[in-house]
Structure 1
Amino acid sequence: MNKTILLKNRPEGKPSLSDFEIKEVEKPTPGDGEILLEAKYISVHPYLRGRMRDEESYIPPFELNEPVESMLIAEIIESNNKNFAKGDLVNGMLKWQHFQTANGNGLNKIDTDLAKPSAYLSVLGLTGLTAYLALKNIGKPEKDETLVVSGAAGAVGSVAGQIGKIKGCKVVGIAGSDEKIKHIKDEFGFDEGINYKTTDNMQEALAKACPDGIDVYYDNVGGETLDAVMKNINQFARIINCGAISTYNDKEEPTGPRVEGILIKKSALMQGFLVRNHAKEFGPAINKLATWLNEDKLKYEETIVKGFDETPQAFLDLFEGKNTGKMVVEV
C-alpha cells in the first residue's frame, strides 16, 4: 500500500483538515539511475502555510491536488543509483508519500552515529541551520549582550537561545504558556521568559526583563511582539526577521507601527533571513552544531506524532502551539 497527502484546497485564513486529502496511489518502481524511498520521518513547519497560497514567493506554491512536500528522512529500499545503497538513510525535500522514487539530486546521506535520524530534521537539519546561520550572519551576538527570542520553545527558537548562551549573552525567551517558559529556562538555559498569552503589556514586560535594552532580536512571530521589541532596542541593534507565524493565517495584509524612525534613531539593522540563501555554509554549520551537541552545550527536543495519516493534524497543531521543539511525524 502506498499513500500520499494532497493539497485539496487553498485555505482561507486558518487551514483545516478539509484542505488535505489522503489518497492511495500505486507504489512506484525505480528506473535507471533512480532510487526507491520509504518515508520514515516527516517535518512539518509553519512556512508551509505560505506555499498553500497561490502567490509569488521565494519558493513556488503547492499545486492543488498534488502532494504536499517538506523535509523528510527516508530509507532507500531499492537503488539503481551508484551513489546510494539499499539501507542508506537520506534527508531532502520530498513528497508527503509513503513510497516515492527520486534521482538522488538534493538528497543527503545522514550519519546515525552522530545523532538519531530525526535530529536531521531539527538541530542538525534546517531548523538548527536556520538558528545558527541567522545569528552568525545577521544577529552576530557578542558576550554580555541581550538576545530576545520569540517562539522560544519551538524548534528554531530553542536552538537560537542556546546559541546565544554559548556566545555569552543574556537570553530572554517569549513563549505561549507558563509550562513552556519554565521549560526554556530549566532545560535550555534561558535567563528569563515571558508568557505572551498572559502578558497585557509586552513593551513593559520586555523593559523589565531586559533592563539594559535589547541588542539582538530573533523574530519568529512578527506582529505585535515585534512592535513591542522595537520600542526596547539599543543602539546598533540587529533584528532578524525569520518568521511571522502570528500573521500567516491573516486574510488581509496586516498593518502596524512604522519602524523607519526607530531604525534610523538607533542605527539598527533589520534583515529578513532565508536559510536556502546560505546553502554553501551548511557543511561547516552542521559540524559546528554537532560539536556543540556532542559537548552537551546544545540540547534539542522534539514533539513526535506517530502515524502517516496524522501529518496534516500535526501541521495544524503548530498554529496552536502544541509543540515543544521540532514537530516531527514518525511514519
Structure 2
Amino acid sequence: MKKIRLVGVFMMAILLTIAAAACGQQQTTSLKVAEVTRSIFYAPQYVALEKGFFEEEGLEVELNTTWGGDKTMTALLSDGTDIALVGSETSIYVHARGANDPAVNFAQLTQTDGTFLVAREEVKNFQWEDLNDSTFLGQRKGGMPQMVGEFVLKKHGIDPQENLNLIQNVDYANIPNAFASGTGDYVQLFEPTASIFEQEGIGHIVASFGEESGHVPYTVFMAKESFIKENEEAIKKFTKAIYKAQQWVEAQPAMETAKVIQPYFEDSELDLIATVVDRYKSQGSFATDPILDEEEWNNLKVIMEEAGELPEDVGHSTLVNTSIAEEIINE
C-alpha cells in the first residue's frame, strides 16, 4: 500500500513539474522588432538582448534589420513586425497620410543626432564656415540625418543649397563608399564608419551634428496604436527591459558595453566599438530613460519645419505615449 502511495506521490510531483513548465512557457511572449539599421548608436538595445533583460521580463524578442526608414515603417504597418526602432519623424509622415491606426512612439532610445562631419583633409581649428564653397556629400532628403544636418548648417549661417555643392542623390548604404572613392570634400557619416575612416586615413572627424543640434527623439521604439492597446503588458515589459539596459549602459565604462555588444559587430575591433560607445555616451546620445518629452518632440518639429519636411503640426499627445515609461520609472 505504501509503495502505491509513494508511486502516486512521485507521479503527482512529475505532473506538477510539467504543469509548472507549461505555465512558464505560456507566460513567454514573443515580439518581433525591426531596427532601421545596425548601429552602435543603438547599444542599449543590444545590451538588453545580450544581458537577458528581455528574458527576465518573460519576452522572447526576434530582432531583424530592415535597412531604411521606409522599409521599417512598411514592415510595421503591414504587421510584418510588432515594434519598429526608427526615427520618430516617420510617425508624423504616416499620420499625415491619414493612417487609421497610427504609429505611436512609446520608448526613446537615442536623444541626439548620431552623425559626424568628416573632412577629407585634416582641418586644424575647424570652423563651420570652412564648408562654404565645398562639395558636401549629404544624407537622403527627408530623413533625420539630412534634416538635422541642414538645421545645423543654417544655424551656422550656411545655406546648403546656395553655399555648398550639395550631393544628395546617393543611397544611404553607398554614401561611405562614394566618399572613400573620392566624392566630396566633406561627408555626414554615422559611426563606426566615421572612426574607421579616421583610422584608415580616408577622412577626419571635425564636428558632431549631435552636439550642435541638441536633444531630439532621434530613434524611438514605436508600435501601432491598436497593438499597444491590445498588448499593453508586453509593451510595458519591453520598455522595462530597455530602461534596465539604458541604466546599465549609463553606469558602465564604454569598454564593458563594447564587450557585451561585440557579437552584433563582428567585423569591428573591440577597441573601435569602445571608442564609438564612449563618443556617443560623452555627448549624451544614449537616452538614460525611455521618456520622449514634449520639449524634444517640439525640437523635432522645428528641425523638420526648417527643412521644409513637416507635413502638419502634430501634437505630442497625438503620437507619443509616455504613460508606460513613466509608470516603469516610478515603480
Query: Could you tell me the TM-score, scaled by structure 1's length?
Result: 0.33
- Write 1 or 2 for the structure with the bigger share of helix: 2
- Pair member with larger Rg: 2
Q: Which has the higher contact order (CA 8 A, sep 6+)?
A: 2
Query: Could you tell me the TM-score, scaled by structure 2's length?
Result: 0.33
- Write 1 or 2 for the structure with the bigger share of strand: 1
